[in-house]
């Protein structure tokens, strides 16, 4: 019985699969982390589990991609490439898998072709299986990734994103498979991506059977979520009807919104006469026993809403967005509005916007629109830049039907038809000057960046720079276990922390005193493995300044008309598009802000000259914070 290992070609993989009875399993550790722990599972924990996972003989381990690349640098302070290097050292045979958003890569917006190709080439040095999807199921949006994956000799796994409703027929999906095969050829794996855990087992079985009936030799990989508690049934139906690979996760870490437990799937299918090819049950159990002791440290990141959610069949929010949506609701103080958002407004928005597939970045557009509609009380009255781009067709054509005219008028105003005619359709995003970007990054860092640093920067510029500077100052922190890295409540003077790193080496940290210097910086002293270390921090003053009254939406708009540009809502600055002294006209972009992963342009509503720029890249803005001052042209 030949094991599928890293380095095998797609031809070898397909021949091996077709030559074996039974089915294969992908351990979707990345998806589990995103769906049930807000992507916070640390590299330290993954390294502890790596030897046991290696023995399990999985088809693949999904360990990178999706939002994890961003969260690695933003919340976990770990280089996404270093993560893959360290895991490969402990897992020499297991194929690594990623989830790639096509033209959106591992981000939330369309990228230039040369950025896409450079990113895929660099990650392909570590990643074997490339699951590629587009939330509009628009094949041209995935072509660049398809081509680069195949050039690199890796396993290409294009997706058809699945949803429910009268438009989502077997014929539609079977024809979509045909569109994929027309551009990729036959040597692919095909993923049915049921990111929301939608439909019944019967419905999934019918879809697999319909695809196999038209394309009998195709190898199907079923991916689903267990949000409603019913994905084991859907997996069983998929395998009974010809699916060859399925997704599941380590049982001691499974929750409500991610994949179901691997052992539960195995036991269910074993009763029906289906065996997992080469899988080692004892190694699966060993992995969960290792992880079980880690789970308590991640409790803070589990969803505030416990229990399965069968109402996902109504709101269709994907598993990867469930945890983060509740987190945003807690931080935004609208947790009490969640039932209304999920069960009333979100289904309305889903249908009004064409009943496309609620997965990144489309799911964020639906979610943000529903939240704005409920909290603002004015449906579609506070559109994000991404909603505008969706309506303009910048993400691709609507697959079934256009949103109603009244939404276009509400979002764009009375001239919406003219705007749609002049600005509608996919943009031909020009290649950027990568060497210029490299030079810009070098200037911000003070040294020449590596190719991997450049790739990370091109997708998440501000967060990447902050991470690189953090790592330069504090070193690589992945050796810290979650009990220390995620500890809440601070540390006491004289406290001694003892822990083992992922290699079993013991470490000791002694908490020393702290002193405040004349310039207001705090110096903190630590003994790390009996070596004294000193760290400096700027003091963060909280509560000493009276909070300014929050401006209303109307007040922000009135100030913009006299050249005083303020933050329209709570957001982070992700782009400053102008310079002091620059002439601007009505409609010119001044800046770009980001909230809930959605980017919104801040455009000039006056003609004039940029007098002063208050906002800074990466700055967290409150509603009404000063951004830009424009000297308005007279007359």
- The verdict on residue 21 lying in a domain is yes
Q: Look at residue 543 in the predicted model and tell me its pLDDT.
A: 44
The overall average pLDDT reported for the chain is 92
- The verdict on residue 123 lying in a domain is yes
Question: Average pLDDT of 470-492?
Answer: 91
329 contacts 283 by C-beta, under 8 angstroms: no
* 373 and 503 co-located in one domain: no
pLDDT band for position 427 (cuts 50, 70, 90)? confident
* 391 and 516 co-located in one domain: no
Nearest to 231 by CA among 247, 242, 212: 247
Q: Look at residue 549 in the predicted model and tell me its pLDDT.
A: 59
455 contacts 122 by C-beta, under 8 angstroms: yes
pLDDT band for position 76 (cuts 50, 70, 90)? very high
The CATH number covering residue 524 comes to 3.10.600.10
Beta bridge partners of 158: 132
Report percent pLDDT > 70 for the chain: 97
**Would you say residue 323 has pLDDT above 90?**
no
The CATH number covering residue 579 comes to 2.40.50.100
**Would you say residue 545 has pLDDT above 50?**
no
- Residue 447 has which token pair? 């040294």
- The verdict on residue 112 lying in a domain is yes
Q: How many other CB atoms sit within 10 Å of the CB of residue 447?
A: 11
Q: Look at residue 325 in the predicted model and tell me its pLDDT.
A: 85
How big is the chain, counted in residues? 635
- The verdict on residue 417 lying in a domain is yes
Rounded Cα gap, residues 615 and 617, in angstroms: 7
- Residue 11 has which token pair? 């031809």
**Would you say residue 546 has pLDDT above 70?**
no
Q: Look at residue 541 in the predicted model and tell me its pLDDT.
A: 53
- The verdict on residue 170 lying in a domain is yes
Nearest to 257 by CA among 541, 26, 35: 35
- The verdict on residue 438 lying in a domain is no
Question: Average pLDDT of 253-280?
Answer: 96
Backbone φ and ψ of 96, nearest 5°: -90, 140
Sign of CA dihedral 64, 365, 466, 121: positive
Strands of the sheet containing 571-576, edge to edge, are 598-603, 589-595, 571-576, 620-621
- Residue 314 has which token pair? 């109504």
- Kindly report, residue by residue over 83-133, the tens digit of the pLDDT: 999 999 999 999 999 999 999 999 888 999 999 999 999 999 999 999 999
Q: What pTM does this model have?
A: 0.89
**Would you say residue 216 has pLDDT above 50?**
yes
- Residue 616 has which token pair? 């800074």
The distance of Cα 241 from the centroid of its chain, to the nearest Å, equals 31
Q: Look at residue 547 in the predicted model and tell me its pLDDT.
A: 47
Q: Look at residue 212 in the predicted model and tell me its pLDDT.
A: 98
Q: Look at residue 596 in the predicted model and tell me its pLDDT.
A: 61
* 377 and 241 co-located in one domain: no
**Would you say residue 224 has pLDDT above 60?**
yes
Nearest to 397 by CA among 420, 366, 429, 369: 420
* 278 and 400 co-located in one domain: no
* 200 and 245 co-located in one domain: yes
Nearest to 28 by CA among 153, 131, 119: 131
Report percent pLDDT > 90 for the chain: 76
Domain boundary among 397, 423, 449: 423
Structural domain containing residue 494: 489-539
Question: Average pLDDT of 345-354?
Answer: 96
Nearest to 192 by CA among 161, 234, 237, 148: 161
* 175 and 82 co-located in one domain: yes
- The verdict on residue 166 lying in a domain is yes
Q: Look at residue 519 in the predicted model and tell me its pLDDT.
A: 76
Domain boundary among 393, 423, 453: 423
Rounded Cα gap, residues 623 and 566, in angstroms: 7
Number of structural domains in the chain: 4
The CATH number covering residue 260 comes to 3.20.20.70
Question: Average pLDDT of 496-518?
Answer: 88
- The verdict on residue 316 lying in a domain is no
* 228 and 113 co-located in one domain: yes
Given the structure tokens 């300044």, which residue do they identify? 545
Q: How many CA atoms lie within 13 A of 511 on its CB side?
A: 10
* 504 and 561 co-located in one domain: no
* 188 and 68 co-located in one domain: yes
Q: Look at residue 406 in the predicted model and tell me its pLDDT.
A: 97
* 523 and 562 co-located in one domain: no
Q: Look at residue 555 in the predicted model and tell me its pLDDT.
A: 84
Q: Look at residue 597 in the predicted model and tell me its pLDDT.
A: 64
pLDDT band for position 185 (cuts 50, 70, 90)? very high
Terminal-residue alpha carbon distance, the chain: 82
Q: Look at residue 517 in the predicted model and tell me its pLDDT.
A: 81
- Kindly report, residue by residue over 393-412, the tens digit of the pLDDT: 999 999 999 999 999 999 99
Q: Look at residue 535 in the predicted model and tell me its pLDDT.
A: 83
Q: Look at residue 568 in the predicted model and tell me its pLDDT.
A: 86
Domain boundary among 301, 323, 350: 301
pLDDT band for position 10 (cuts 50, 70, 90)? very high
* 184 and 85 co-located in one domain: yes
* 184 and 274 co-located in one domain: yes
Rounded Cα gap, residues 270 and 274, in angstroms: 5
């Amino acid at each position: 019985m030949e094991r599928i290992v890293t380095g095998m070609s797609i031809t070898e993989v397909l021949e091996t699969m077709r030559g074996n009875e039974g089915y294969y399993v992908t351990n979707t550790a990345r998806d589990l982390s995103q769906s049930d722990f807000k992507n916070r599972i640390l590299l330290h924990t993954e390294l502890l589990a790596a030897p046991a996972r290696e023995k399990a003989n999985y088809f693949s381990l999904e360990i990178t991609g999706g939002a994890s690349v961003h969260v690695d640098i933003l919340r976990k302070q770990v280089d996404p490439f270093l993560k893959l290097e360290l895991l490969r050292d402990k897992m020499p045979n297991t194929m690594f898998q990623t989830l790639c958003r096509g033209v959106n890569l591992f981000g939330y917006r369309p990228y230039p072709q040369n950025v896409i190709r450079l990113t895929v080439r660099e990650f392909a040095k570590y990643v074997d299986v490339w699951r590629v999807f587009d939330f509009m199921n628009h094949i041209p949006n995935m072509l660049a990734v398809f081509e680069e994956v195949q050039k690199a000799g890796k396993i290409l796994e294009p997706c058809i994103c699945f949803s429910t409703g009268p438009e989502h027929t077997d014929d539609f999906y079977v024809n979509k498979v045909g569109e994929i095969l027309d551009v990729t050829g036959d040597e692919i794996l095909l993923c049915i991506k049921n990111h929301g855990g939608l439909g019944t087992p019967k419905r999934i079985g019918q879809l697999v059977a319909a695809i196999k009936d038209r394309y009998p030799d195709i190898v199907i990989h079923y991916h689903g979520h267990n949000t409603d508690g019913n994905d084991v049934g859907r997996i069983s139906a998929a395998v009974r009807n010809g699916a060859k690979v399925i997704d599941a996760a380590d049982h001691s870490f499974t929750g409500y919104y991610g994949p179901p437990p691997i052992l539960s799937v195995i036991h269910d299918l074993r009763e029906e006469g289906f065996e997992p090819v080469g899988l080692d049950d004892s190694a699966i159990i060993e992995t969960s026993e290792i992880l079980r002791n880690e789970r308590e440290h991640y409790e803070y990141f589990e969803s505030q809403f416990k229990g399965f959610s069968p109402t996902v069949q109504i709101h269709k929010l994907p598993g990867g967005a469930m945890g983060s949506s509740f987190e945003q609701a807690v931080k935004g103080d609208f947790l009490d509005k969640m039932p209304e958002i999920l069960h009333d407004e979100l289904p309305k928005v889903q249908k009004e916007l064409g009943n496309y597939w609620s997965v990144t970045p489309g799911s964020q557009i639906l979610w943000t629109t529903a939240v704005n509609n409920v909290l603002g009380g004015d449906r579609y009255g506070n559109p994000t830049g991404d909603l505008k781009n969706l309506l303009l067709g910048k993400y691709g054509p609507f697959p079934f039907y256009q949103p109603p005219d009244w939404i276009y008028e509400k979002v764009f105003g009375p001239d919406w038809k003219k705007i749609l005619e002049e600005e509608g359709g996919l943009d031909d995003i020009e290649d950027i000057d990568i060497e210029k970007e490299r030079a810009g990054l070098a200037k911000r860092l003070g040294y020449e960046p590596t190719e991997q640093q450049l790739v990370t920067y091109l997708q998440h510029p501000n967060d990447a720079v902050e991470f690189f500077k953090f790592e330069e100052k504090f070193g690589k922190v992945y050796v810290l276990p979650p009990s220390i890295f995620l500890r809440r409540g601070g540390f006491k003077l004289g406290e001694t922390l003892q822990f083992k790193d992922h290699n079993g080496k013991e470490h000791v940290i002694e908490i020393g005193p702290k002193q405040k210097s004349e310039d207001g910086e705090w110096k903190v002293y630590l003994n790390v493995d009996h070596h004294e270390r000193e760290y400096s921090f700027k003091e963060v003053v909280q509560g000493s300044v009276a909070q300014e009254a929050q401006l209303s939406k109307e007040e922000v708009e009135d100030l913009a008309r006299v050249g005083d540009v303020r933050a329209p809502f709570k957001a982070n600055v992700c782009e400053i598009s102008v310079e002091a002294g620059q002439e601007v006209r009505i409609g010119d972009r001044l800046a770009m802000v980001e909230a809930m992963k959605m980017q919104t342009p801040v455009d000039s509503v006056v003609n004039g000259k940029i007098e002063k720029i208050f906002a800074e890249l990466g700055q967290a803005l409150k509603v009404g914070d000063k951004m830009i001052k424009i000297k308005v042209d007279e007359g």
